[in-house]
Structure 1
Amino acid sequence: MFSFQAFFRSWLVRISDFLTATRPASFVRRLQLGLLCLTVLILTMVLSYPVLVQKTLRLGPEAPFAAGKPSPETIVATTDIQFTQEEQFALAREDARKNAPLHFVRDLANLGPDGELQKQLRSDLQAVQKCRIDHSEMDARRICVRSGVRIWRESGLNRDQWKTILEYRSDYVEKQIQQLANLVYQEYIILQDYPESSEFKGSLVSVRDIQPGSAPTESTLPAEQVIRRNLLVSRNVLDQVRDIASKKLQSPGGTFREVIVQLTVHYLYYMPPARFDAEATEQARAAAAGDVKPPVYRLKKGEVLVQKGDVLTQEKYRALQFYNEARNRDRIGRISALFIQQVLLVVLLLYLSMRFARHKLDDVSGNLMLYLLVWAFGIVLFAALSHWNEQPGKLDLTYFFGSYIPIGFFVVLIALIFGEILALIVGCYLGFLVFIASNYDGNSLLIAFSSALIAGIMGARIKNRLHFITTGLTISFVGCIIVVAGYLYSQKEILAGPEENTVFSMGFLQALRTQILSGLSTILAMAVLPVFETLFNVPTRFKLVELADSSNFLLQELFRKAPSTWTHTLMVAALAEKACERLGLNTLLVRTGVYYHDIGKMKRAGFFVENQHLIPREENIDKNNPQKAARVIIDHVLDGITMARQARLPREVIAFIPEHHGTSTMSFFYHKALEKMKRKVNREDFRYPGPCPQSRETGIVMIADSLEAASRSLDDYSEAALDHLIQKIINIKMSENQLDESGLTLGDLQIVKQAFKEVLQSSYHFRPKYPNSADTKKLENRRTTAKKKTTTAKKKG
């Protein structure tokens, strides 16, 4: 009939055998490298989750986010945004170029004694003076001047104006025109034509005046005072020239001043105009554009970039574009940074593990267990990051990320499986993962590290179920202290507000509750530990306690079939446990290993001397055939290994079976062979298969096993005799190089020797010989008879 339970158990055994099978060291190293690389990739992806899940906004005319359209959702910046507003920058630079002053050059030599104005003015006044001399009548003079002096003719003077001007001396008129021309020339930049610079929007222009014998001078004028020379006779300019003349020219007013104004502007018309300096203007424009500081758009992480329903202006649209670009850059940069961090941390983890706990990771099962736990931690970290990412910026106000991660649960498991040292190393690594995932929050780092250290130290010392609870409570307590300190440091609200009915704020209570639950999650390690014990056959403390239970079927078989071997086993266990306790070794592993070290004797129990009185058969041993006897004894080691594997004992327990004999020689049978056998004797036929003890525990058991057997042949159990016997056994093992690979030092051996002596003295101490009951009865009868005689004598007397 099909049994699901049997089917499940058979497959469980197959899986366990596959995972715990012994493989070459080269295979283990390659597996380690593969697991490390996979760990780096997995944890990099886990820590990158907040960046990877950030969706890219769809931008474009037909996309949800389009310029000029309402935003379909509110966008909160998940990273700092800062970019130059290129369009505004370009407009600002262009505006600066347009407002940069135009540059002109005026040659003041044209107003000097040898300038064009002076030459033309003198020439014309000489003609005017000649007309005065040649004609006495005013009209004839006017006609003469009009016909002979072009500038005066073009000035458009009327009869009264001609009469007025011709009445003044020529030198006076020359002086008035010269003065007014200088004043107007300083107020205006007179051009032949405007430069081709329609883009100019400034209010000032720059003019450089050059004159012989002195350095050029720079000055600025309002832009409206740059005029073409054909505008000199315009009403606007004439009014301004009249105003200049009235304020600054010392001359008779009225008609004479008006004539001077008309003549001056006409003379200025024929003067060489100012020159536009295109090169200086371009330099000024470039300098003005270069002085413009680029406008920068800034938005901090957590600030709202755009509200749902807001119309996307060009600036907001550009901000969204840059936000997409910034997130892509941030995604690549952060993933790269996390990858580098993981490579460094994993390399450090590997180095420390190989340096301080190498023997824990020298097989496939140990590596698989460790990295499976790390990956499981990564899954928990991923779940926490997912929850945290659903409410960005909100959970930070109440909780610390480190409180969300039950790091103590994982470190306690590692401590129970691998021991304290490796648990602390891996715990520190997991603490750094929490620190990175929390965006480098200091409080989360303290919570994670304190939980890891407490779990590593206390977890390695768990001996019963109550210790799981005390470990969880300790982690919770220390974590709560850090939460309180974090609240105080970050100035979060601890006390409740007036609207709340509690002493402490709800946020603070929730943070404490989360931390307490995180610490107490350590208790769940009790439920998960059997899974690792079953799948990977791990010799945890609880597994060893089960195996060392005398009700175990294999030990029951040993006690039933070879009771004296079991007695020998108990004595060896007492010796080895005492020595390991003194050296701080795993006494529970030693006791369990010793209980099973001779289970191979069950197959032919009567052959071994300690059981022969219980199983008296002649065929049990043939002292005349030492080689066959040696073969049977060697077989008990091989049989024991087979039986242990069939019973699925942990590898660390099975190691006691071959290593407690090592490769030592069966000296008794080898001696017999040399004594009786005539053919050549091969020493290797009388040597145990080994290997030599590979740990201090199995080395101690080797000495204890030989010592217990040898001690039974002693007649004298004095301290000196015991010292001599123990040292003799140690010397024999050392002479055969049996302890070379065990790690036992000479100092360790002295401690072991003292521990063995104490146990033997307590076992073989002197006891007084107890009298038998018949002698006691005789003494009682004798005392009774004597008492009766005394009583009779007293009565007679």
Structure 2
Amino acid sequence: MLHKGLFKMKKPKPIPRQIVIKIAIGIITCLVLTSIIYVGKVPYGRQPQVGDISNRTIYAPFDFSYSAGTDIEKTEELKKAVSLGVKDIYDMDINIYDNVAQNIKSLFVTAKNLKNMQEVGLDDKVERLKTADKFSLTDGTLRSLLQSEELNKAEPNILNRTNEFFGQGIISQEEKENLVERGKNVITIRNLVAQVELSIDVKNLKTLDEFKQQLADAFDESFSSDKKFRSAISEVATKSLVPNLRYNEIETSSRREKVVAAVPIQKKMEDVKRDELIIQRGERLTPIHVAKLEVLRSTSLEGQRFFLSILGIGLVVFALVIITSFYFAYYEPKIYSNDRHLLLISFILIALTATGKAISLSKAPNYLIPIASGPMIIALLLGARPAIVIAITLSFLTGLLVGGKFDLALIFLVGSIVGIYAIKGTRRRSRLLTAGVLTGIANSLCVIGLGILNNLESEIILSNSSFVLLNGIIVGIFLTGTLHLFESLFQITTNITLLELADPNNPLLKELILKAPGTYHHSLIVGNLAEAACETIGANGLLARVGAYYHDIGKVEKAEYFVENQPIMESQHDKLAPSMSSLIIISHVKEGLEKAKKAGLNRALIDFIEQHHGTGLIHYFYQRALESVEDLDKLEEQGFRYPGPKPQTKETAIVHLADSVEAASRTLKKPTPTNLEELVRRIINNKFIDGQLDECELTLKDLNVIAATFAKVLTGVYHARIEYPPEKEKTEA
């Protein structure tokens, strides 16, 4: 039978928190840098202007068409087409029907009244009816109206028919023929009273003759009994009809002018094929070049090309961040293992890229981007080698930022490297401004050289070199004003701050001098020993010296319990048990940490206070305790050891050794060079055997060099002096 656990899935090991933090910093840096570079970015540089000089050669990446100017002929054709597309406007005159209706009513009222007058003869009635006739009717028509029995029926019939025909619109035969001749198939008829517009086919428009025929047919059906009367009322109706559609030339022209004015200027389009040359580097832009570049810029912001543009920037940024990360992981493990240092680098990259973007989007010249400030800050806080790597990364990012101007990237790289070496070993803040000026000079020389190579005009070269010189001065001022802020934010101490902390007027050192002068003197000698040893093995001597000044500040509270501050032949420990004495001695580390943190001392110096004894054994009181107890098994050595941690860096380890060596050297009755060297090597060997140096990077070779340096410095401290003979007074002979 198979074992139950044979196919049991193993739980995946959780990813260490440190790795997660580093990955997060890298991803966030990539995303932010990509966003900053893309914001406001338009492919193919800034808005092209006629007369500008192209800074690169450009080929068409795809087929496209561009506007080669105004196509006047096509524009006029389009205007003519839209003008013809506007229908002729005919207004329907409502007043015509109203007048006609009034005349018809007046005619029939008069006719009815005359018909009822029996005493008046027919001829006289006809003459009287002519006064109400507005249609010039014949006498026969008037007689028929006066003699008909259907007069009452005729009036509404005629009114209805004429109203219907006037409502349809009546056009003159001449006007209709004119429309046909001009090729007008449709017109617009407006009824201004009803506020209605209708589009009517010209062939459906009816003239007077067509309506007259309809009237004749209609009256034949309505008044079939009396032929003369039908003829009479037909004449009344037909003579009342007049054209009521009037051509509105003003409105028609106004509408045509509006549509013609709205016609956009037509561009003359020319085709460009893929890989066709757009412009050569150094060539002056013409209107044709500008038109082609505008199409490339706008097309590159659309759809898939927009995505590809972001992807391209992201890949370049990712490659730069990855390469930089690999460098720090393999060649700067101390920096890579410190998340604060990685955040500092990320902040520098993002802040300067954002500053560069802001300047590039403004009217200010790109030569004012203060790229050198980033590598110089890194050089001051982390060292020259990582600073050079950051300078390379930032220079590439700047070239990408300003649209592929890698000659500008070269200028900034040269200036940054000069700035890095100009601040090497800087111990005064005034040196930062000098380094900024040197950076500006280096930038200026580079600008002049590239300007000559590119055959630029002398005025342009002078202007650009002035800008980069100003850039260097700005960088120097920026470093002077913000260095302390970076030190505080990222808990890193520079040589400048270390020298300021070495001032005896510093409150902590001043208190040490006043309350524990012996300890202060001891710290000075330890500092000298540590600095000399550090410089021989390539460690930070200044950091070790200043760390040594502060390593024993915890003794201030109980200074009288430490031998260097006690009167000769008198000790506070004579009255105390060894275990109590041991606690008092050990407590100076804890009290020193509290005082340092309260004073806001940098972490780099706090490490010296915490680690300068490691987990070492207090031999003197441990031996006294061994002598005073009967059961040695009950005495725990751990109670007589410092809490640690052991020294973690070369500098703290050297101070740890120097502290012990200096204290032990005072016990030698004959501090000869031989005795001093023997003492130094014995103490260092004991520390090595006790494991106090296990967690630092000191090698056996380093320890040998340190021992020789300690012996040399102590020989100088305890040098012999000749004994001067006593002065004798002269006696008189």
2:301 to 303, 327, 339: 327
Give the deviation of 1:346 after TM superposition: 0.6
Give distance in 1, aligned partners of 2:523 and 2:65. Answer: 86
| Counterpart contact for 1:83–1:322, Cα < 8 Å | no
CA gap 1:303/1:682 in 2 versus in 1, 3 angstroms: farther
Correspondence list, 1:454-533, <5 A: 454-494=418-458, 506-524=459-477, 525-533=479-487
CA gap 1:626/1:492 in 2 versus in 1, 3 angstroms: same
| Counterpart contact for 1:81–1:299, Cα < 8 Å | no
Aligned match of 2:674: 720
Is 1:359 aligned to residue 311 of structure 2?
no
Aligned match of 1:300: 278
Give the deviation of 1:660 after TM superposition: 1.4
Please give the secondary structure, in 2, of the residue aligned with 1:621: helix
Give me the identity figure in percent. 31
| Counterpart contact for 1:417–1:538, Cα < 8 Å | yes
TM-score, L = length of structure 1: 0.58
Task: Note the residue ranges of structure 2 that are not aligned, 5 or more in a row.
Answer: 1-14, 67-270, 280-284
Aligned match of 2:732: 785
Aligned match of 2:375: 411
| Counterpart contact for 2:43–2:403, Cα < 8 Å | no
Correspondence list, 1:43-62, <5 A: 43-51=33-41
Give the deviation of 1:594 after TM superposition: 0.4
Please give the secondary structure, in 2, of the residue aligned with 1:460: coil
Query: What amino acid is aligned across from residue 30 of structure 1 in structure 2?
Result: V
Aligned match of 2:567: 613
Aligned match of 1:641: 593
Greater Cα shift, 296-305 or 333-342: 296-305
CA gap 1:439/1:675 in 2 versus in 1, 3 angstroms: same
Give distance in 2, aligned partners of 1:425 and 1:682. Answer: 52
Aligned match of 1:732: 686
1:41 to 21, 31, 38: 31
Query: What amino acid is aligned across from residue 301 of structure 2 in structure 1?
Result: R
Give distance in 2, aligned partners of 1:455 and 1:623. Answer: 61
Give the deviation of 1:585 after TM superposition: 2.0
Give the deviation of 1:697 after TM superposition: 0.8
1:678 to 611, 614, 630: 630
Give distance in 2, aligned partners of 1:85 and 1:515. Answer: 40
Query: What amino acid is aligned across from residue 651 of structure 1 in structure 2?
Result: R
Give the deviation of 1:35 after TM superposition: 2.4
Give distance in 1, aligned partners of 2:545 and 2:637. Answer: 32
* CA offset digits 1:530-574 (Å, max 9, x no partner): 222344443112221121110111111111111111111111111
| Counterpart contact for 2:357–2:401, Cα < 8 Å | no
Give the deviation of 1:488 after TM superposition: 2.0
Give the deviation of 1:386 after TM superposition: 0.7
RMSD of aligned residue pairs (Cα, Å): 3.3
CA gap 1:493/1:630 in 2 versus in 1, 3 angstroms: same
Give the deviation of 1:321 after TM superposition: 8.2
Aligned match of 1:429: 393
Give distance in 1, aligned partners of 2:566 and 2:724. Answer: 29
Give the deviation of 1:724 after TM superposition: 0.8
Is 1:349 aligned to residue 324 of structure 2?
yes
2:649 to 695, 717, 726: 695
Aligned match of 1:628: 580
| Counterpart contact for 1:42–1:375, Cα < 8 Å | yes
| Counterpart contact for 1:411–1:427, Cα < 8 Å | yes
| Counterpart contact for 1:81–1:300, Cα < 8 Å | no
1:553 to 501, 507, 513: 507
Give the deviation of 1:79 after TM superposition: 8.7
2:360 to 369, 379, 385: 385
Give the deviation of 1:305 after TM superposition: 6.2
Aligned match of 1:83: 63
Give distance in 2, aligned partners of 1:295 and 1:478. Answer: 43
Give distance in 1, aligned partners of 2:440 and 2:475. Answer: 10
Give distance in 1, aligned partners of 2:369 and 2:657. Answer: 48
Give distance in 1, aligned partners of 2:669 and 2:344. Answer: 52
Please give the secondary structure, in 1, of the residue aligned with 2:504: coil
CA gap 1:624/1:466 in 2 versus in 1, 3 angstroms: closer
TM-score, L = length of structure 2: 0.63
CA gap 1:448/1:600 in 2 versus in 1, 3 angstroms: same
CA gap 1:54/1:476 in 2 versus in 1, 3 angstroms: closer
Query: What amino acid is aligned across from residue 594 of structure 2 in structure 1?
Result: T
Please give the secondary structure, in 2, of the residue aligned with 1:698: helix
CA gap 1:613/1:489 in 2 versus in 1, 3 angstroms: same
Please give the secondary structure, in 2, of the residue aligned with 1:716: coil
Aligned length: 500
Give the deviation of 1:29 after TM superposition: 4.2
| Counterpart contact for 2:434–2:476, Cα < 8 Å | no
CA gap 1:465/1:623 in 2 versus in 1, 3 angstroms: same
Give the deviation of 1:515 after TM superposition: 1.4
* CA offset digits 1:69-117 (Å, max 9, x no partner): xxxx99x99994742679xxxxxxxxxxxxxxxxxxxxxxxxxxxxxxx
CA gap 1:45/1:338 in 2 versus in 1, 3 angstroms: same
Give distance in 1, aligned partners of 2:343 and 2:706. Answer: 36
Give distance in 1, aligned partners of 2:449 and 2:500. Answer: 44
Give distance in 1, aligned partners of 2:612 and 2:460. Answer: 61
Give the deviation of 1:469 after TM superposition: 3.3
Query: What amino acid is aligned across from residue 431 of structure 2 in structure 1?
Result: H
Correspondence list, 1:309-328, <5 A: 324-328=298-302
Give distance in 2, aligned partners of 1:624 and 1:674. Answer: 15
| Counterpart contact for 2:371–2:394, Cα < 8 Å | yes
Query: What amino acid is aligned across from residue 399 of structure 2 in structure 1?
Result: F
* CA offset digits 1:327-380 (Å, max 9, x no partner): 324432222111011111111111212333332354443333332222210121
| Counterpart contact for 1:420–1:459, Cα < 8 Å | no
Runs of 4+ in structure 1 off by over 6 angstroms are: 76-79, 305-308, 319-323
Give the deviation of 1:736 after TM superposition: 0.5
CA gap 1:84/1:517 in 2 versus in 1, 3 angstroms: closer
Please give the secondary structure, in 1, of the residue aligned with 2:63: strand
| Counterpart contact for 1:356–1:422, Cα < 8 Å | no
| Counterpart contact for 2:355–2:369, Cα < 8 Å | yes
Correspondence list, 1:563-582, <5 A: 563-582=517-536
Correspondence list, 1:58-457, <5 A: 80=60, 82-83=62-63, 296=273, 300=278, 304=287, 324-328=298-302, 329-387=304-362, 401=366, 403-457=367-421
Query: What amino acid is aligned across from residue 325 of structure 2 in structure 1?
Result: L
Please give the secondary structure, in 2, of the residue aligned with 1:300: strand
CA gap 1:471/1:714 in 2 versus in 1, 3 angstroms: same
Give distance in 2, aligned partners of 1:362 and 1:595. Answer: 28
* CA offset digits 1:33-71 (Å, max 9, x no partner): 22222211121122223535999x9xxxxxxxxxxxxxx
Is 1:708 aligned to residue 662 of structure 2?
yes
| Counterpart contact for 1:356–1:421, Cα < 8 Å | no
| Counterpart contact for 2:445–2:465, Cα < 8 Å | no
CA gap 1:26/1:622 in 2 versus in 1, 3 angstroms: farther
CA gap 1:306/1:522 in 2 versus in 1, 3 angstroms: closer
Give distance in 2, aligned partners of 1:770 and 1:560. Answer: 34
